[in-house]
Each structure stands twice: as C-alpha cells, then as structure tokens.
Chains A and B, each alone.
Chain A
Amino acid sequence: MTIGKTGGRALQFMRVVLVVVGSLFMFGAPAQGAAAESELTIVASVQNQTVLDGVSEKQPVAGVTITVTFASGAVVGTGVTDTSGLISFPVKTRDDYLVTLDIATLPNGFAMIDEAKAVSSIKKDDFTTSVKRATFFTGSSNTSSQTLLDRMIQRGADGLRLGLVIAMCAVGLSLIFGTTGLTNFAHGEMVTFGGLMAFLLNVTMGIPLLISAPIVVVLGGLFGLALNVFIFGKLRRRGVGLISQLVVSVGLSIVLRNMYLYQFGGRTKPLNDYSAQTVMRLGPTSITPRDLTTAILSLLVLVAVALFIQKSRTGKAIRAVSDNPTLASSTGIDTQRIIRIVWFAGGALAALGGIFRGLDEQVGFEMGSRLVFLMFAAITLGGLGSAFGALVGGVMVGIFVEMASLVVPAELKNAPALLILIIVLVVRPQGILGRKQRVG
C-alpha cells in the first residue's frame, strides 16, 4: 500500500468525520446560544422528596413564597413557585444573594427536611453559568403504608415500563450485531441523540412534542444511517476487523458524548410538554397519564417491530442476513441495503427511546450511556443478534432491575444487571433465543 493512497483515504475519512461532526454542531447550536445570551437568573426550586423503599422520588411543590435579597438585606424580588416548583428571578449583577423560603407558605403536610436550609446563600463566584439554582427540599410526613405485595406490583409495573424502553433501544443494537457483527458501544449515544433532538425542537424551538417527536424519530434514523454510511460501512469496505470496529465505536461514543456535553452542557433539563403530571391510580399501581401513554406506545411500537420482522419481506430478509450473510446475498438479497435499513430502524427506535426516557426522567448528555449497559444485559440475556431476544431480554432486565430495587439501594439498582450478565454467561451463554455457534 503506498503512502499517498493511504493518506488520500485518511483525508477522505477525516473530511467525512468533519462533515458529520459539523452538521451535528449546527443542529445543536441554538440550544447553547439561547442559554449564553440571556442575562443572569436565579432559579429557586422547591422539591418534595419522598424516600419510599429506598427509592427517592421528587415532586415539585407549588405555591411557596420565595424571596431573593442582597446580602445587605435589600429585596431583589418575591414570588410564588409555579406547578413545576420553580420561580426565577432575573438579577443584574454577579453579587452575593440570599434566597429565602417562607416556611409558613408550605402546603399542609409539607415541612422542610432541614429548617436551617430554608435560606440558601449564593456567592458572587457561584455564577459560573448565567443561571444559578437554589433548590429547597421538603419531605412530606406520610410514611410507607404499602404492603410488600403492593410495592412489588408497583415496582413490577415501573420495571415493565423501563423494560419496554430498554427493549426498544436494544432491538437496533441486536439487529446491527446480527447483520454486521459489530458490537456498537455508541448505541447509547444514539438514544441520547433522540432525547437532545427532542429538547432542541420542543424546548428551544417551541414545537409541540406531538409534532416534533415524529421528526426526531426520522432524524434519529438518518443519524443511524449516517453512522453506517460514513463510518462503519467504510470500515467494512476497508476490511477493518470486527474488534477494531468495536474499538472505533468506543471512540465514537466518547466523541459523541463530549459533543453533547459541549453543546448541551452538563445539567439535565426537562422537556416542555407533559412535564407536570398528577399521579393517578390504575388498579394496584399509581402512574402518571404520560407514563401510561408512553408505555402503551412503546408496546405498540414493539409489537409492530415484531410483526415487521416476522411477516414482512424485508423482515425476512433481515433475519436471513442475520443468519448467514453470504448465503443471504447469494439468494439475491441486497445485504448492504438490509444493513442500511437496520441502521435506520435502529437509530429511529433508539431516538424514540430517548424521547420517552427524556419525558420520564430528564434530558441530559449521559442519558443514553447510562442505559447502554442495561441494553447489553438485555441482548445478552435474549441472545445476541436476535430481535425477539432483545424484546424479551429488555423487558426482563427492566423488571428485574426495578424489582431488585426493593432490596438494593436505589443508587445501586443497575448493579443486579451485572449479575444477570454473569449468570446468563455461565448458564446459557447464547441467551434465551440465541444460537450456540455464535458464542465462540
């Protein structure tokens, strides 16, 4: 191989990377711009923290009077928190401020966890960004009156919800593995992409979520397609080995995650629509209408995916390529086309998972990379390369992880997923629906 030729390829590759990177920057640009150009703001937030079975839940408290004063005592402003428990005060200068919560205005049944923390002081140097938050935590006095069975049902329901999202994100991961052999460690970043795009459209541009969500899903699909066309497809054509491709995907995940951090900042932020919800009772469990809707939608999407793979012509072709790419291509299936479809579908599903995840928790630059490990546990459990395995494994991992939080502290609730991984690999390394010859 001559140096000139390699250099040319290298340049071409770098140009492609730059184009992808550049286009992403353009996508994300308004989010940063909006934050940077506004003036200084103090945002006071009042959150009610309930710790139930070691799982801490936070809910906003509305109608609490907050006063901001200078350190000298001169009043800057007074206001009442809204339904998200938030009130913001624009301030002119970087200075020392005191933020005071009026305990008398707390709703009945709410009390400060620590009354000494009803006053929060903000120092001049704390304004590292244009927005400075002061958060107050209250704790309501009702303790857990639920029985163990109630809690198990509640956790099971939450787990099912988490599992459906994991399954949705993991189908693409598994199919990509099945058709190309790539273990894509950047798949979590494809989930984050969906969440951040939803934030860009819904919050920065103000497009209602019902309209922006389909756009985000298509963008997510195009993102997946772009990764295949500009990076992994090129690597396959160069004959780069699967392990090297795996390491490239690790590098890609570092690049993307830090790009998100660069554009979006390190803090998690909520989407605009459906963020304030009231809990309703549904049989023995309580759930917000939003979460119920996303759960039903996830279920519908997964059923559609399953039917597509089982019944449609393209779905059959995908399964054929997963089984044996060489044989599939010799029967006239366009393997590269199938791989493109799989990357598109995987990206779209991951983006949808990112939107749902962003609604459920909040949007942040690490939201997907936190999930990627559960996705790997899911597809290992279900069987690497099998779409149905990812569905089954995802739901099982979700339920297991949430159920485990009955005994494991909430901060460690992902730890049992490692246990699943190890047990599966010892007992049945090919997973529930996997085939033995793949294991190695």
Chain B
Amino acid sequence: MDWINILQNTCRALTGVDAAYFALAAIGLNVQFGYTGLLNFGQAAFMACGAYGIGMTSKYFGIGMWWGIPIGMAFVIVLALLVGIPTLRLRADYLAIVTIALAEMVRLIVRSVRFKQYFGGSDGINGFSIQFRELSPFDPGAQYGIKPFQYSGYTVWTLLVGWALVGIFATLVFMLMRSPWGRVVKAIREDEDAVRSLGKSVYSYKMQSLIIGGLIGMFSGVIFALDRGSVQPDNYSRDVTFYILTALVLGGVAKVSGSIVGSMLFWGIFVFSDNFLRELTKDQPLRIFGVTVMQKIQVGAINYMLIGVGLMLLMTFRPQGIFGNRKEMALDAR
C-alpha cells in the first residue's frame, strides 16, 4: 500500500482543477437551490453550454475562443427560459423533473450523429484552447509548487484562472445575497406567498436566480473544458449535477464558503477512496473470507455508490452540511 502516493494525490485533489470547477458549479447551484429554493437538477446542461460555447467558436465558427463566453451565456439564457417559463409558477418538483430531462436532452443532442458537424458527436471537440495556452506565463513542461501541491505549468495556469473565478463569483454572490435582491430571493425560499403579497414578482426573481446560477455554472464548464483541452458530451451527464449537489450539501447550503469547502472536501474524499480502493485491488481482487468482494474494474462503481450513500445520509441527518445553518435549510417551506 503506497500511502505516500495516496495522500499526495488526495492533497492535490483538494486544490485541483476538479475542485475548482466543482466549486464554480456549486456556487451557481447554491444561488438556485440554497438561496432561492429552486431544484435545478440540470446544472450539467448549463456547464455544457459554457464548454460547447468555447469549443464551437474556434472549431466551427472560426472566431476567437473568447467569443465562446458570450455564446455560452446566450445558450444558458435560452435554456433557462425554456425550462423556467413553464415550471417556475408551479410546485418545486416540476422544475426538478424538467431540468433533469433537459440535461439528458442536451447530452443526447450534443453527442448525436445528426448534429455531429456542430458538436462533434460522441468524440466531442478538441484543439480549441490554444489562445488560452498562449496567455499562460508558466512553462508548460515544468513543475510548479511544493510537494504535495505540485502541478505542471499548464495546470497551474488553469488553476490560477479557475480559483480566481471562484473568488470573484464567491464575492459577487456574497454581496448579492446581502443586497435587497438577495433578501427577496431568500424570502421567496422561506415563504413565496408572503413575498407575493409585498408586491414582488416572485416569478421574475426566480427566473433571474435560475439564470444567474446557470451563468456561474457555465464558467465551471469553461474551466473544465480548458483544463482538459477537449469537450466530451459524457462529461455532462445528469449524474454530474447530483455530484455537485452532494458537494454543495456537504459544505453547507446557503453559505458561499460552503460551496467552496464542500467541493474541495468532495474531491479530497473521492480521490482518497478511489486511490485507496485501487491500491487495494491492484494486484489481486479483494477477498473477504474467500469471497471476491471487489475487482479492479468495480472500483469506480463502488466509489459512486459511496457518493450516493453520502448524499442520502447528509440529506437525512445533516441537511445543512458542515458549515450551514439549519435555519437556512428551509427547503420545505414550499
């Protein structure tokens, strides 16, 4: 058992790109789910908007990569209106059903053969990130940082941009939630009818919240795509939203710091258990009392199972997460 390697990987995961893009997506989801009480189960679709936005520009439209960001924003707004207009007047779970369907549809469409010329089918899109690479002040071949937090030059650059975005959006959301707008949104979460009786348009506030959360999620997709240098449709499957939700609930709902710490912890735990189980089954399947319990190829399934169990237990016993305030977890006011 190579403990040093496992612990190094775990530490690297705590501040890695995965944690950064999860944190961005979680901040966005927190605006919708944590502050407004909207059950958006399609955050993966909004992430895909950002990723495909920048992927498509340089590859198919022949314009600069940065145009992908306004294009991705346009995608997000269109999708948010599409799901928001019919469902935001209705009970909370309708939005959940429709967004989960939307996420599935977006994934099917971008991976379809029919639209391959635009979205690249199941192969996805590659080779769009040159402009971003050229901006990097780091030597892509060199290693930076002190062990265990050591990353290659290109990753350091992505990390820097990613965590900077996390910082910016965390600050923005923090300020937004202390503004009059934020107070209205939180009041909607607590008691929609009371807010309506004060003459506020609940519908419009919910829609704004859905779009803002989606836009922040979009940047998460941008960072993810830039890091991998490719856009793959299956990276935006509907389960991704639930993993982000798990990270959010782990850190604490309706707390800006919760989304960030939750994402870091989520990836720390996930990478630890993944590395640990892989070490355990590296040479031979794990046997307990002579029964084969786990083979190498089953490690992935077991890890995701643990995420699901974690989500169930958190939701049952500590829905406010580690840092959250139980009073802010008034999801069932409606």
Contact = CB atoms under 8 A, between A and B. Distances in A.
A280 B104 CA distance: 35
Contacts of A253: 308
Nearest to A369: B238
Which of the listed residues B90, B112, B239, B316 has the most CB atoms from chain A within 10 Å of its own CB? B316
Interface stretch (A138-146, A160-168, A407-415): A407-415
A299 interface: no
Contacts of A380: 94, 97
B311 interface: yes
B242 A243 contact: no
Contact of B109 (A6, A250, A259, A412): A412
A418 interface: yes
A175 B332 CA distance: 21
Contact of B94 (A231, A247, A248, A429): A429
User: Which among A10, A33, A380, A421 has the highest number of chain B CB atoms within 10 Å?
Assistant: A421
Given A254-B242, A425-B90, A244 B311 contact: no
B332 A244 contact: yes
Contact of B101 (A10, A29, A373, A440): A373
Q: How large is the interface on B (under 10, 10 to 19, 20 to 34, 35 or more residues)?
A: 35 or more
Contact of B242 (A128, A238, A250, A417): A250
Contact of B93 (A9, A243, A373, A377): A243
Contact of A247 (B245, B300, B309): B245
Contact of B97 (A242, A248, A262, A376): A376
A241 interface: yes
B114 A248 contact: no
A246 B313 contact: no
Contact of B304 (A6, A129, A254): A254
Nearest to B100: A373
A430 to B, nearest CB: 9
Nearest to A29: B291
Interface string A218-258: 00000000000001000100101111101110111111101
B242 to A, nearest CB: 6
Contacts of A255: 305, 308-309, 312
Contact of B292 (A36, A250, A256, A417): A36
B298 interface: yes
B317 interface: yes
Interface stretch (B10-18, B80-88, B130-138, B139-147): B80-88
Interface residues of A, number: 55
Interface string A398-422: 0000000000010110110110011
A438 B92 CA distance: 11
B102 interface: yes
Contacts of A183: 93, 96-97
A85 to B, nearest CB: 24
B245 A426 contact: no
Given A36-B292, A425-B98, A373 B307 contact: no
A262 B305 contact: yes
B112 A412 contact: yes
27 contacts: A9-B317, A13-B313, A128-B297, A242-B332, A243-B39, A244-B319, A246-B96, A247-B245, A247-B249, A252-B308, A253-B308, A254-B239, A258-B304, A261-B301, A262-B305, A376-B97, A377-B101, A409-B113, A411-B114, A414-B108, A418-B98, A418-B101, A418-B102, A422-B82, A422-B98, A426-B86, A440-B334
Interface of A: 6, 9-10, 13-14, 17, 29, 32-33, 36, 128-129, 183, 185, 231, 235, 238, 240-244, 246-248, 250-256, 258-259, 261-262, 373, 376-377, 380, 409, 411-412, 414-415, 417-418, 421-422, 425-426, 429, 438-440
Interface of B: 39, 41, 82-83, 85-87, 89-94, 96-98, 100-102, 104-105, 108-109, 112-114, 239, 242, 245-246, 249, 291-292, 295, 297-298, 300-302, 304-305, 307-313, 315-317, 319, 331-332, 334
Given A13-B313, A248-B315, A409-B113, 13 more contacts: A10-B317, A183-B97, A238-B316, A251-B309, A251-B310, A254-B239, A258-B302, A258-B308, A261-B301, A414-B108, A422-B83, A429-B90, A439-B91
